[in-house]
Amino acid sequence: MAKIRSQHVCQNCGHVAMAWTGQCPDCREWNTLVEQAAPKPAPKATAGKGGNGRTLPAGTPGQAVPLREVQAARVERLSTGIGELDRVLGGGIVPGSLVLLGGSPGIGKSTLTGMAMANLQAAGSETLYVSGEESAAQVRMRAERLGPAALEVKALAESSLETVLGTIEAERPAVCVIDSIQTMHSSELSGAPGSVGQVREAANALAELAKRLDVAVILVGHVTKEGSLAGPRVLEHLVDCVLRFEGERERTWRTLRAIKNRFGATSEVGVFEMRSGGLTEVLDPSARFVEEATGAQGSVVLASMEGTRPVLVEVQALVSPSELEIPRRVVNGIDRNRLSMILAVLARHARLGLGTADVFVNVVGGVRVDEPGADLAVALAVASAQRGEPLSSPDGRPLACFGELGLTGDLRYVAHADRRVSEAAKFGLAPVIGPRGGERLEGLAPCATVRQALKVAFSGNQTVKPAAAA
């Protein structure tokens, strides 16, 4: 009789079946059976009886110690030679860690990892590039445009999990790239590569090997059509760091965000520009994003915070009469539900009715802004587009602002107001409209409500003290 190597476990109730069926025979849920490797037989020794009469397996007791007695050695990070990538990682790659890098096809994931491997190899660290999607010749063709150091990186074109694990065991590299985790498959499972069971088994095996050999592993992952990382959710819990590479293929800008990071902050962002020779770091993203801001109607500059770094981005809005019964709300770079809330606040507290108009909002440059401090910029841009009046100073400079809108129409304080104002002043965009805070900042026109902010913005004189206004 053939040995059973895998089993199918229901992700809802835990029922174990020997074969896949569309519906779980226990909880009756559909499409919840996932193939997993069969566990190894438990030891026969027993430690006693459980509460329900079952025999419990014996185990050797561990030694628990207070945390103050634990010796924590300081680990030296490996610098990738890419400042923006090191910033998002928290200072570099931690040996023995697992990093999951996800992004849309063609966004530049392989280029970014190839550049990092080339820099690490040139710095004296052994590297290994495992490609399950391309042949070694194809990997070389891409590496040729990254410089001579990229050709020194060892490459392996293989999708068999057992072969990849054996190669890592033999080579013992400092950093290994798996491109991609969805192409790895284990002979222990019958599922196709990319299935939930195969991805989970491959990730677990690579995580165990990385911790045991102290090898940093970068897993390149695919994304679904909704933009989320493909594979089981447990994959994001298993790794130490989750990075998302965002941008539009038609644009040259790329942003790298940390969704999860056990060794650093999750709010940092790196900005890149795709060129013929690969990805180029953008050390001053504010200058790139603001240089084309014209101060036309429906355009304002948002002083946002990306981690510890202030970034100025242009927010544009367009309001036009709708021919549809339900007007359109189209956004790019912000959350659509956030726009709906801002429009409701403008209608209730600023008497700005947009119920019969189509509203389009865009963050220029393909940048995505998720912080609530962007509310005021969206509100002012929409108000400017609706009135047909530009929000700019007499010398043509665009208006800069930041702040969170409350449902009562108040303008709420957001963090790092001093850094936002200083960044705007560096480009001559002060004074900046923002919420009132605990400290008085030079170059800030504080406002208490969205109505006051609109009055100050359309007055063309941001030095007016809105607190004294009606």
Same-domain check for residues 313 and 232:
no
pLDDT of amino acid 113: 94
- Residue 372 domain-assigned (yes or no): yes
pLDDT at 44: 54
Flag whether 53 is in a domain. no
Res 465: pLDDT: 42
pLDDT at 124: 93
Instruction: Report how many domains make up the chain.
Output: 3
Greater model confidence, 48 or 22: 22
Q: Token pair of 208, please?
A: 């165990």
Q: Are residues 292 and 421 in the same domain?
A: yes
How far apart (Å, rounded) are the C-alpha atoms in residues 454 and 380? 7
**Phi and psi for 106 in degrees, rounded to 5?**
80, 5
Mean pLDDT of 304-315: 89
Measured between alpha carbons, how far is 268 from 164 in angstroms, rounded to an integer?
A: 32
* One domain, residues 333 and 369: yes
Q: pLDDT: is 386 or 59 the higher one?
A: 386
Does the pLDDT of residue 278 top 90, yes or no? no
Are residue 251 and residue 367 in the same domain, yes or no?
no
pLDDT score of 39 more than 80: no
Q: What is the CATH number of the domain that holds 317?
A: 3.30.230.10
Percentage of the chain lying above the pLDDT 90 cut: 50
| pLDDT of residue 385 exceeding 90 | yes
| Angle at alpha carbon of residue 202, lines to 199 and 207, rounded to 5° | 120
Same domain, 314 and 438: yes
Question: Is the residue at 56 inside a domain?
Answer: no
Least confident piece of the model among 90-99, 193-202, 253-262, 325-334: 193-202
Instruction: Indicate if 318 and 462 belong to the same structural domain.
Output: yes
**3 state DSSP class of 299:** strand
In a domain, 250, yes or no: yes
Do the domain assignments include residue 65? Answer: no
> Residue 255 falls within a domain, yes or no?
yes
- Confidence (pLDDT) at 269: 86
Cα 186–Cα 184–Cα 124 angle in degrees, nearest 5: 120
Report d(CA 173, CA 416) in Å as an integer: 41
Residue 226: burial class (beta carbons within 10 Å; 0-12, 13-18, 19+): exposed
Predicted confidence at residue 464, as pLDDT, reads 38
Q: What is the CATH number of the domain that holds 126?
A: 3.40.50.300
Long-range contacts of 385-391 (CB under 8 A, 24+ apart): 385/297, 385/298, 385/317, 385/318, 385/319, 386/319, 386/352, 386/354, 386/357, 387/297, 387/458, 388/297, 389/297, 389/458, 390/295, 390/296, 390/297, 390/299, 391/295, 391/297, 391/299, 391/300, 391/457, 391/458
pLDDT at 56 > cutoff 80: no
Indicate the residue among 265, 283, 301 that finishes a domain. 283
State the chain's mean pLDDT as an integer: 86
Domain boundary among 236, 268, 283: 283
pLDDT band at 404 (very low <50, low <70, confident <90, very high): very high
Range of the domain at 17: 1-36
What's the pLDDT at 334? 92
On whether both 183 and 313 belong to a single domain, the answer is no
How, if at all, do strands 55-57 and 127-131 pair? unpaired
265 and 394 co-located in one domain? no
Chain segment 70-106, per-residue pLDDT in tens: 887 778 899 999 999 999 999 999 999 999 999 888 8
Q: What is the pLDDT of residue 290?
A: 83
Query: What number is the average pLDDT over the span 54-60?
Result: 63
pLDDT in tens, 217-276: 999 998 877 667 776 777 888 999 999 998 776 777 888 989 899 998 887 888 898 887
| Number of Cβ atoms within 10 Å of the Cβ of 310 | 21
Q: Do 147 and 2 reside in the same domain of the chain? A: no
The tens digit of pLDDT for each residue in 175-185 reads 999 998 999 99
**CB-CB contact of 146 with 111 (8 Å):** yes
Report yes or no on 72 lying in a domain.
no
Q: Which of 211, 220, 212 is nearest to 177 (CA)?
A: 220
**Is a pLDDT exceeding 50 seen at residue 1?**
no
- Looking at the fold, whether 370 and 271 belong to one and the same domain comes out as no
Q: Is the pLDDT of residue 3 over 70?
A: no
- Is pLDDT larger for residue 1 or for residue 115? 115
Residues 451 and 433 sit within 8 Å (Cβ to Cβ): no
Residues 295 and 340 in one domain: yes
Burial (CB < 10 A; 0-12, 13-18, 19+), residue 170, is exposed
Q: What is the mean pLDDT of residues 127-137?
A: 93
Domain final residue, candidates 253, 283, 313: 283
Q: Are residues 352 and 416 in the same domain?
A: yes
The two most distant CA atoms of the chain are separated, in Å, by 87
